[in-house]
Amino acid sequence: MISQKIKIVLDGIFLILISTIIGACSAKMIDGTKLNLNIEVLKSNAWINLMPGINMKPTFHFNGEIKIKNNSEDLVKDLKLQEIDFYTGSTLLFKFTPVLKNKMGDSVNTISPLGESFFTFNSPKELIIKSELDAQKLCNAVLKFSSEGKTFEYKIANIKVEKVY
């Protein structure tokens, strides 16, 4: 009777140990899919062009300059800004693929281990204004980066949208 209780306790300890090992391995795998970056927004501008030209509709523009630090000891190769989602409140206004350029003029967006680089980003020119865009409200943008299957998201909060005439 006592040996059966000991067996049950040992079986329980074994299951807890196996669960802990499996949990630790899967947590490591999840972390391995994220880029280890630090983003600093040096400037960002959002505006509505209300005088786009004859027979043209008003357009939305968003650009900025960012400093990206690679916090890992791995080279970040071919960094891409896959997408920017632009919101007012919880309403998605725009989802677009921006142009990301290294400010050093390099054609390849790489960041050395523990290094940093400066980049600019621009929205495409043909973003037609949506009726949900209220220039009186502050907006948010989520920048979605990727490199070799790894991803990183960064939110820019409280963006004021200017009107340009």
Which pTM was predicted? 0.77
**What pLDDT, on the 0 to 100 scale, is given for residue 97?**
96
Q: How far apart are alpha carbons 123 and 156 in whole angstroms?
A: 15
Q: What is the mean pLDDT of the chain?
A: 84
Contact 142, 92 (CB under 8 A): no
Positive or negative: CA dihedral 70, 76, 79, 85: negative
Mean pLDDT of the region 125-151: 91
